[in-house]
Amino acid sequence: MQFVDEVKIYAKAGDGGRGCLSFRREKFIPRGGPDGGDGGHGGDVWVVVDPGLGTLLDFRYKVHHKAKNGLPGMGKDMHGKSGEDLEIVVPLGTLIYDVETDELLADMVSADQRVLLLHGGMGGRGNARFLTSTNRAPRHTQPGIPGEERTLRLSLKLLADVGLVGMPNAGKSTLIATVSAAKPKIADYPFTTLVPNLGVVSYGGGYNSFVMADIPGLIEGASIGQGLGTRFLKHVERTDLFLHLVDLSDLQPGDPLENFDMINRELASHSAELAAKMQLVVLTKLDLPDVRERLPAALTFFAERGHRVFPISAATGEGVQDLINAVALEIEARRAERNAPAAEPLS
């Protein structure tokens, strides 16, 4: 499936139906009077979440979205039927903006969320509404009011608890494939990962879980458009913490420890919030002899900077469970903090 995370669409609520001009004409009732009914209201436009969706691809093939118009009123005081509402179904984590004003209209962060985007137009009044003591045969009606319309920009930000960052080929895809059911492409060349991947990681005997996001690797100059990473960095903006993967076997194009600083510079260039997120350093490919040799120096390097370090081998599983346990504790602490009741002000 093609991954699409930015689209523009046109949406319009339904127009209200026209009011009816009609007079009652029945046998033995010579002066029946006006009986034109009101037009029906136009349908509203709602946006709802489908947790099973992971891309905005469908909107590439359907750009125009219109709710049904209200039907016109009829004689015998019969009102027109209101138009059906339209539901625009989006993946979890979709942000919806007005293209003209760049106003954020909705942020779909809950699976049961349903947001009214556009109001349908009101139906026009029929001539029966204009009957007065001095105007016994009104011939005036109202047209329906047009429904609201907007050009919208849909931007998908995947919701994940943990984001994986690092150089291309640092082992991010291998790690997420090891700890979850995700099946990203894995190969021994840079930029194997071309789109973000999500994986659900179970812990605590399988009764608890968190979501991990693997994004394409960053390279120097990513903040000015080099490589693939910055296009997808928004997908880890909502994460609670980063796992910064460092490949100690990588001596080209530079020192892997220098690459660590370079990645953090690119994160800071993209967003100060990203740079401020908590990071756990993961030293990958522990099964390689070269990595074992360089491990003591790397541990000293990161310890001096105050980072928690987890050497692992996703290929053999060494150290992986310790990493998952540490991440789970951090995620649970943040969830508890978010769910804690607000302190009441002192009287």
| CATH code, domain carrying 46 | 2.70.210.12
The pLDDT, as a whole number, for residue 277 is: 85
| 204 token code pair | 């605590």
Contact 70, 121 (CB under 8 A): yes
Boundary residue ending a domain (96, 126, 156) = 156
The pLDDT, as a whole number, for residue 223 is: 44
Same domain, yes or no: 231 and 265 = yes
Query: 322: domain range?
Result: 162-339
pLDDT above 70 for 294: yes
pLDDT above 90 for 221: no
What is the CATH number for 282? 3.40.50.300
Instruction: Kindly report the average pLDDT of the chain as a whole number.
Output: 83
Q: What is each CA distance from 235 to 49, 95, 220, in whole angstroms?
A: 17, 12, 19
Same domain, yes or no: 143 and 167 = no
The pLDDT, as a whole number, for residue 251 is: 56
Domain count, the chain: 2
Band (107; pLDDT cuts 50, 70, 90): very high
Which of the 8 DSSP states describes residue 127?
G
pLDDT above 80 for 270: no
Gap between the Cα atoms of 153 and 4, Å rounded: 13
Question: Between these two residues, 30 and 210, which has the higher pLDDT value?
Answer: 210
CB environment 48-64: b (16+ within 10 A), e (fewer): ebeeebbbbeebeeeee
10 Å CB burial of residue 204 (0-12, 13-18, 19+) is exposed
Taking residues 324-337, what's their average pLDDT? 86
The pLDDT, as a whole number, for residue 1 is: 46
The pLDDT, as a whole number, for residue 21 is: 93
Band (281; pLDDT cuts 50, 70, 90): very high
Gap between the Cα atoms of 325 and 174, Å rounded: 18
Lowest mean pLDDT among 33-37, 65-69, 267-271: 267-271
